[in-house]
Structure 1
Amino acid sequence: MPTQPTPTMHDVARVAGVSVSTVSRVVNNERYVHPDTRSRVVEAIAELGFQRNEAARALRPGQTSDTIGLVIADIANPFFSAIARGAEDVVREHGHMLIVGNSGLDFERERDLVQELVRRRVDGLLVVPTAHDHADLHTELSRWAPIVYVDRAPRGVRADAVVLDNKAGAVRAVDYLVRAGHRRIGYVGGDPAVVTGHHRLAGYKQALKAGGLEFDEALVRFGNHTAEAAEETVAELLNGPTKADAIFADNNRMTVGALHAIRRVRTEAGLAGFDDVELADLLPRPIALVTHDTIELGRRAARLLFDRIAGSAGPPRRITLRTRMLVRGGS
Structure 2
Amino acid sequence: MRDVAALADVSIKTVSRVINKEKYISETISRRVNEAIQRLNYRHNLAASQLRAGVNSSAVGVILVDISNPFSAAVHRAVEDVFRETGIAVFLASTDEEADREKAAVHAFSKRRVDGFVIMPASHDQGYLLSEIAAGTHVVIIDRPPAYLNVDFVVSENRKGARLGVDHLIRHGHRRIGFIGDWPTVASSQLRLAGYEDALAAAEIERDPRIILQGFADAAAVQQATENLLAADAGITALFVAQNALCAPAMRAVFARGKRKEIAIVGFDGFDGADLIEPGLTVIAQDPTLIGRTAGELLLRRMNGENPEPTGQMLDTHLIVRGSGEIPGPFRVKDASLA
TM-score relative to the length of structure 2? 0.76
Show the 5 A alignment for 1:230-249: 230-241=222-233, 243-249=235-241
- The aligned counterpart of 1:260 is 252
Deviation at 1:229, TM superposition (A): 1.9
CA contact (8 A) 2:63 2:94 kept: yes
Partner of 2:311: 317
Query: Which has the larger displacement, 224-233 or 163-172?
Result: 224-233
* Long gaps (5+) in structure 1: 1-56
2:290 is aligned, of 296, 299, 305, to 296
Identity of aligned residues (%): 33
Aligned mate of 2:89, from 83, 97, 100: 97
Distance in 2 of aligned mates of 1:157 and 1:198: 19
Please tell me whether residue 279 in structure 1 is matched to residue 273 in structure 2: yes
* Runs of 5+ consecutive residues of structure 2 not aligned to the other structure: 1-41, 327-339
Q: Distance in 2 between matches of 1:92 and 1:212?
A: 51
Distance 2:168 2:130 in 1: 42
Deviation at 1:193, TM superposition (A): 1.6
RMSD: 2.1
The answer to whether the aligner puts 1:187 opposite 2:179 as a matched pair is yes
Deviates more, 1:98-107 or 1:306-315: 306-315
Q: Which digits, 9 at most, give the CA deviation of each residue in 1:218-263, with x for residues without a partner?
A: 1111112432222112112211147422111111111111111101
Q: Distance in 2 between matches of 1:210 and 1:288?
A: 22
1:293-326: per-residue Cα shift (whole Å, max 9, x none)?
2111101001000111111243321111111001
Q: CA separation in 2, counterparts of 1:204 and 1:241?
A: 19
Alpha-carbon offset, residue 287 of structure 1: 2.9
Deviations 1:29-71 (A, max 9, x none): xxxxxxxxxxxxxxxxxxxxxxxxxxxx999572672211101
Please tell me whether the aligned partners of residues 153 and 313 of structure 2 are also in contact (alpha carbons under 8 angstroms).
Answer: yes
- Secondary structure of 1:328's partner? coil
Separation in structure 2 between the aligned mates of residue 297 and residue 58 of structure 1, nearest angstrom: 31
- CA separation in 2, counterparts of 1:71 and 1:328? 33
Distance (Å, rounded) in 1 between the aligned partners of 2:224 and 2:123: 24
Measure, in 2, the Cα distance between the counterparts of 1:147 and 1:182.
Answer: 43
Distance of 1:132 and 1:225 partners within structure 2: 19
Find the partner of 2:131 among 121, 130, 140: 140
**Residues 99-118 of structure 1 mapped to structure 2, 5 A cutoff:** 99-118=91-110
Distance 1:247 1:191 in 2: 17
- Contact (CA 8 Å) 1:219, 1:242: kept in 2 or not? no
Matched length: 274
Q: 1:164 aligns with which of 156, 159, 168?
A: 156
- Residue 320 (structure 2) aligns with: 326
1:223 correspondence with 2:215: yes
Comparing 294-303 and 58-67, the one that deviates more = 58-67
For the 8 Å contact 1:162–1:321, the answer to whether it is kept is yes
State the distance in 2 between where 1:58 and 1:116 align. Answer: 10
Task: Output the CA distance in 2 between the equivalents of 1:327 and 1:227.
Answer: 24
